[in-house]
Amino acid sequence: MNIVDRFISYTKINTTTNSKQGAAGIMPSSEGQRVLAKKLGNELKQLGLQDILVRDTAIVTATLPANVDYFVPTIAFFGHLDTSAELINETKAQVLPYNGGDLCLNNALNIYLRQSEFPELKNYIGDDIIVTDGTSLLGADNKAALAAIVNMLQYFRQNPDVKHGTIKVGFVPDEEQGLLGAKAFDVNAFGADFAYALDCGGIGELVYENWNAGDVEIIFTGQPAHPMSAKGKLKNSLLMAHKYIAMLPGGEAPEYTEGREGYYWVKQIQGNNARTVLKLDVRDFTQAGYEYRMTFLKNLSDSCTALWGEGSVQFKMTARYTNVYNSLQGENRYPIDIAIAAYEKCDITPRPIPMRGGYDGAVLSQKGLPCPNLFTGAHNFHSIYEYLPVKSLYAASEVVKTIVELTTARFAPGADI
């Protein structure tokens, strides 16, 4: 099966993550992820991989044994099964030629991928592009990774004369639920020496920096009263929450920041005049900056408690993941160097970027499995305008194949390493 058909076959399985199920600790959070996990398990079996495990949690692992008689470190590649919950519609993927200008996704609904909004489209003139009909996500985040990885495995199985060390794969659920699949993944039992996730964007992107990330939940407890006699008695918890939000630093929100600028993100507010729950995400690239932001919110909560009375504000913070950069330094930097060499051998200019988000490899790296993040080739994740140039998808698979070949050559007897 060619890589495009493989990718489109994955998009036909709805694996939208389910936040309510995920919050309840149910993994996978959606049944479609289990269906896709079983499909992948069958494909890996057909390719002749060994040690295939498809767990009840929808975590899939498998091994392609080495075909060399000398030591080569075991490499692993990771992708995630779920797609984001912005839209839950069934995906109707289509492959369209792109000749410049605006690309019509859905004539009946007048939905266009417009070059004025997405100027990087000019880089793909003359290419075929995989898109939806404009009513759903494409799911290239992260099914493009799954297709690229399986395509790489197919290449080595069809070309047994090409030397390679042991290759492992890990497909995990619910990345979009705070990296739940990676957090549940048993790195020690897996047995890889280093790894790569494929979970970033356009061709050439390479990630080995991401957020220090945490979640904050603040519960405001008011004092209800009938409005006819509310004066001096009513404390409206909704207004308390809004006043708290108003005291956050101006301009330090996702819509005002870029690059390595951190932020406070008001994610959810729900309640009534008696009780309101406010949820925020806190993000910063430096540990000191992250700790400062958390301390600021805690101090603000304490000040509000002093103003509104004991028990009026309850503050809870939870760490989600840390900057992967901390785990990819010194003796653990070599996966980055190998990736850069592979990009260059494939005539792709490496574009290291700080990732304004998280990925499974951040958690895996914290657990002791160094894991930078490679491109899938896709753009506009979590959007109806998500698109995947076909040549970029092939390039993603070529890079992972080249990483395997370079690593094998690097450890060959007599090689200069």
Contact between 285 and 354 (Cβ < 8 Å) = yes
Per DSSP, the three-state class of 164 is coil
d(C-alpha 34, C-alpha 17), whole Å: 11
Question: CB atoms < 10 A from the CB of 46, how many?
Answer: 11
Active site residue 31: no
Instruction: For residue 249, give the DSSP letter.
Output: P
User: Cβ contacts of residue 374 below 8 Å, gap of 6+?
Assistant: 196, 197, 198, 199, 200, 205, 206, 207, 339, 396, 399, 400
- Choosing from 175, 199, 209, 398, which is the catalytic residue? 175
Question: CB atoms < 10 A from the CB of 415, how many?
Answer: 10
Question: CB atoms < 10 A from the CB of 83, how many?
Answer: 32
Active site residue 82: yes
Contact between 54 and 38 (Cβ < 8 Å) = yes
- Choosing from 82, 141, 199, 284, which is the catalytic residue? 82
Rounded alpha-carbon distances, angstroms, from residue 208 to 215, 271, 276, 325, 394: 22, 39, 38, 6, 22
DSSP code per residue over 48-62: T-EEEEE-TT--EEE
DSSP code per residue over 61-89: EEEE---SSS--PPEEEEEE--B-TT--S
Query: Can you count the helices (H) and strands (E) in the chain?
Result: 11, 17
User: Cβ contacts of residue 92 below 8 Å, gap of 6+?
Assistant: 132, 133, 135, 136
Query: What type of residue sits at position 227?
Result: P
Active-site annotation, residues? 82, 175
